[in-house]
Structure 1
């Protein structure tokens, strides 16, 4: 009973698939040693042809090389199968060839008698031509493409990894997608490297085919004359014809497999199968079709030329071009033309009385695009930018702590065709240009050479960049550029602006929604605070103060608890913000100095600190600073902060709690990247080292 169960487990479909490859290899190797019946030889020859055709069809319908990543292994197995069949057929040809043309099987006889008409000379020429085409043209070209692709793919890996990291940091992709892309990059490099090596199999197969042909003819002539008393002419004709049939039945599948290898490694892009790409790119331009038809027609009218064939082909090409032109005219309506047509067709209506419906609300976040960018945001065309914007809002909510208003997208025909504009509450806060189909190669500061393209700057961070064509991506990666597509450019710019204006995005409605969300888990906490102790407006102001200085509000439980504790003594948003920052001190410091690293900060010279504290005590919260001192303070802070950034440290200024808010507001305009923290916000366990003193020379 146990034996029956074991046999059933062994014969399951999954087990059979696992055993298929080892059994196939063992069978192929066995054919080199064990004699095969003629019928089985015909079956295996037919199977070899079928497999080669199947592999070529798969290659034609593959959209990108990695979809057929097993191809190098298939190439090795099919080459080994052909060589095994050559050995098996050679054995039968030499042993049974004297008996007639069908002694080695119907397949070999058909290839030797039918395809070359039984003519030995023609057969040898055809075999040599097929071998040269396979060996010199297709295999050598495919091998060269694979070699260059492997080299460029390997050189471009650092740039591609940087692009993945940039997308991950910008919130455009998740960690799972980043891991998949990294794995795909490694597989791509391995694939082209394997294809470069696998092309040597086909080259060796072609050389082996020529040697087997020569050996079989000489060996057959010797066996026929010496062992079977055949005449030299009869022996030469019989064995040569069988050998040629054997060679052709092996070389034709080899040629098909080589074509499949060339199709796989020469693909550019992953938009569709090869047939669709060829028809869409070669036969889609009516102007090209008309010019081609005109040239062929002129050639067809030259005396002595096959006029009918040329003119017939010219007429067919012209007809195809005319059909393509009609299709273009039917779908050539541009957004401007549609708008003009709609305006012209709209019937004139009598002016009506104004109503509240004429008052259009201002969008909190708006994105306007020129007409060439419409496909990027068109839901019907599966616009890539729409997906990225959804991902941005999700990542923003996870990292900052509240859900921002949705981005309202619309086209604006007043913009340049490739321009876009980002607006916050109706006011433009950023804009730029994007070119669908092209890529932005951004210089991160360590590239090894320039690029040919449209010179520009990255709209989000102002880094020097180039707009380049798709064919230059690998070159740009190899030179160290970070390469991103047009939708990523717009999404990254939008994400940067949303983070910069997070405080303005937190309105009264968002604050109430955030409190309601926290109240679902801690209803008593919210009930005790709002509106008993603080109004929503004060809570909103405190949260905006935190966001304005780059502090996330994810830990709402701590924020609410601190507000509830201190709101009894003070309702001042600035003072409450300071208390909340002290409670969030560990998280604030952790975001600036990850781990348990030493806090390398800037500080104020003690004399300057005393002057500022006196100014604060004399003038209150907005204490006045003497103009000359203010100018010196701004200049020194900017210089020292730049030095901090140059050595890879965050520009952080450590000050007494009384000065923190004043200096943060005052210095942020001159040094946007500066973070001002109070002594009371630093956890006791962290070590502080002052790297620079502001005002030391004052």
Structure 2
């Protein structure tokens, strides 16, 4: 056994023996001073701990100090009743507090007992009880959180073991504190009983045994009783306060002093308000400025010092951040951040800054939010965040739209002007700067404010520069939507469907198709401007046909057939026949014969001459329908639709190619042209 272990054992045994063996007066004084010193040390340690587990011995220490204090009470009571003295410490406390007035001493002692028993002890007991209950209730959730972090790879086995052990120690600690707080409560009750015994018993014994008079007996035993009570209650009060601090403080980064100064004085400006209030209190009330102005001045000075300190720390933090950024730029690893490519970028010259600056009335940011909402409703695609930045390399009035770092659109704007597009006939009175509408490439002119009203009366379509940008950006996103949906975006869409249709997703992925296969199908639909918002129908079709073929082109055709109602409503005009350009039998036969099968799927093998002839014939029909003011739609058989689309998209990407199976049976179809070889 180590010497310190032997010392602790002897000390505990000595505490028990003190209750039955008389203790000399000098030794009693030494033990009382040790009791006060130990209580003060425990309080200071409790104030300087960051976490309750740093003082995990506190419950056992609370029991030992309570037992020690009771043993001292018993010993001092024995000396008071037998020798009508209890040493210099007890006598000093009794005479010092009483100050010659026994009643005052009793009142002070009773106040300490009330504070100890009713306020601190009862409060600490309740907090310890609630903390123990909530700690035990939270254990299963904390254990599950640790298991989840371990399974996710966020922590290793050793860290998980340490965190589990900490949770167990917390539960044990607060459970022990709940029990130990009952000893503190019992100690307070025992102090009151011992007080009554000392006072009544001492008064009787002093008159009956020691032959004292009434006044002498009352004075002697009253002072000794008060001194004994104070000597025991002051350490008890200190330790009870320490217990309250331990159970009421949550884990933090600093001790009590750090937390108080950093949190209570975190807002120096509020001290100015307190200072002003105190000063006004002295000026307009009978309290007087002599008592309030010095305190108000101290508060104001403290607020100024704290504000200066905060400003200095903020400047140091900003300087440190700048230095770190400079170091990151200088470091070899800083080049890695340059490899990140934004999905969508909108760059503009410095002359167009008012479009994005809200302080100058620009609403481009709000328009972009609406564009993302519109694309989500029309295409079923969550458009990534659009990065907006100015670019001094561009002309002042120029802007560009980039998809994954590549320019896919550009335009020029004239602020304080309007873009006017003619209704098909020119008005010579409408004069402006000729240009092209950037979204669709239509001829247009920039006109000023004075010409705007006249142009609208003449039938011109007049739009402001922000609307020009919004339209161009919207059409660009729709045209390149298939490039914006990758595996990660597809995974997010799948997880969204999984919340409402878990059985459908579990059947489809990964047993039938992978995320990459689903992404290819969705990209093919978006490339032909087919909305993927109805993911349930798309997944149902893939789950039905996925087990029989892995060709994503074929699966896309099946999905298009499942979306026939949506496709019909997209291209048909309500209340009228759907006018289409049909494919002649000879052309269909030629395309069908040119389809070759391979292990990777099917592909089209048309010779360049035949391909050029198809381009020419189809262009004639498409241009004729455009000139008549109608949207051209090509209709083919399901067997060749996707191969004809491959031919058309090279030069006429915006011309839709549909099959008969993608149209609702109830729709009336009218052929206004035939493409044949």
**What TM-score do you get using the length of structure 1 for normalisation?**
0.48
Larger radius of gyration: 2
Q: Larger relative CO (CA 8 A, sep 6+): 1 or 2?
A: 1
**What TM-score do you get using the length of structure 2 for normalisation?**
0.50
